């Protein structure tokens, strides 16, 4: 999942970025609305973590503009404003969830994952692909009924493929979901993750479509 974080407080921004990244997601962190707008016109994001008070304007005004543009992405507001009226205003503006600072980072990740899956159409808790059983929400995997340990990065790759079950996904699309702006990507990084997943679930679990990318079988 590719996430845009808009937060001008360095210690909060750094903590959120690292926690979301540790869950296997790509996070681009900007500190102003102008930079956020530029980023969103460049990259298709799955989710937005948005502070309300920013140096160059109100986060709510930016959110309203996104919704007028019909940008379809999950939005979680992060703010110090804890009045019920503030929450109502944020939800009316188009936010999907609302967290008041200081918040628990694990709870933030859980809420972010939950609202993102609504947009990705992942209401089904369990996915069966031949002998492989996956529960993306709980991040549980089984092969022939036996639990298999899957790392955060491997889940990130699986999430991209699961969102397009009947399509071939390009290597570039997987890289976009896993890596933020400025990240150094080794030329064979995606191939390494695909190889690790195949070792766990079988060589034929992910099919390579030469010159086009990868697709799930089953």
**Last residue of a domain, which of 120, 154, 183?**
120
Q: Which residues contact residue 218 at a Cβ distance below 8 angstroms, ignoring those fewer than 6 apart?
A: 128, 129, 130, 132, 205
Helix (H) or strand (E) holding 119: helix 105-120
In the predicted structure, residue 182 carries a pLDDT above the cut 70? no
pTM of the model: 0.68
CA distances from 92 to 49, 88, 103 (A): 16, 6, 22
Q: Can you tell me the distance from the alpha carbon of 198 to that of 215, in angstroms, rounded to the nearest whole number?
A: 12
- Residue 68's domain comprises 2-120
**Last residue of a domain, which of 62, 88, 120?**
120
Domain count within the chain: 2
User: Do 115 and 32 have their domain in common?
Assistant: yes
* pLDDT score recorded for residue 181: 67
Least confident of 18-22, 58-62, 177-181, 189-193: 177-181
Q: What percent of the chain has pLDDT over 90?
A: 49
User: Do 148 and 76 have their domain in common?
Assistant: no
**Two tokens, residue 204:** 């034929």
Taking only the tens place, the pLDDT of each residue in 50-109 is: 999 999 999 999 999 988 887 778 999 998 877 788 888 888 888 999 999 999 999 999
Of 71 and 150, the one with more pLDDT = 150
User: Do 147 and 210 have their domain in common?
Assistant: yes
User: Do 10 and 111 have their domain in common?
Assistant: yes
Q: Which residues contact residue 91 at a Cβ distance below 8 angstroms, ignoring those fewer than 6 apart?
A: 98
């Amino acid at each position: 999942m590719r996430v845009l974080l808009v937060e001008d407080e360095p210690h909060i921004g750094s903590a959120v970025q690292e926690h979301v990244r540790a869950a296997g997601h790509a996070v681009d962190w900007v500190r102003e609305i102008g930079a956020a707008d530029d980023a969103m016109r460049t990259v298709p994001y799955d989710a937005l973590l948005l502070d309300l008070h920013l140096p160059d304007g109100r986060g709510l005004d930016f959110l309203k503009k996104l919704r007028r543009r019909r940008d379809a992405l999950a939005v979680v507001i992060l703010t110090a404003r804890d009045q019920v009226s503030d929450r109502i205003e944020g939800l009316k503006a188009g936010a999907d969830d609302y967290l008041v600072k200081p918040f628990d980072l694990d709870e933030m990740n859980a809420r972010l994952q939950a609202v993102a899956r609504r947009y990705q159409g992942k209401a089904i808790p369990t996915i069966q692909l031949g002998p492989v059983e996956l529960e993306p929400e709980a991040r549980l995997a089984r092969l022939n009924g036996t639990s298999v340990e899957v790392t955060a990065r491997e889940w990130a790759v699986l999430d991209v493929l699961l969102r397009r079950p009947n399509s071939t996904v390009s290597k570039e699309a997987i890289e976009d979901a896993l890596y933020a702006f400025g990240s150094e990507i080794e030329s064979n990084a995606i191939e390494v993750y695909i190889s690790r997943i195949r070792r766990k679930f079988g060589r034929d679990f992910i099919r390579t479509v030469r010159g086009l990318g990868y697709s799930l079988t089953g």
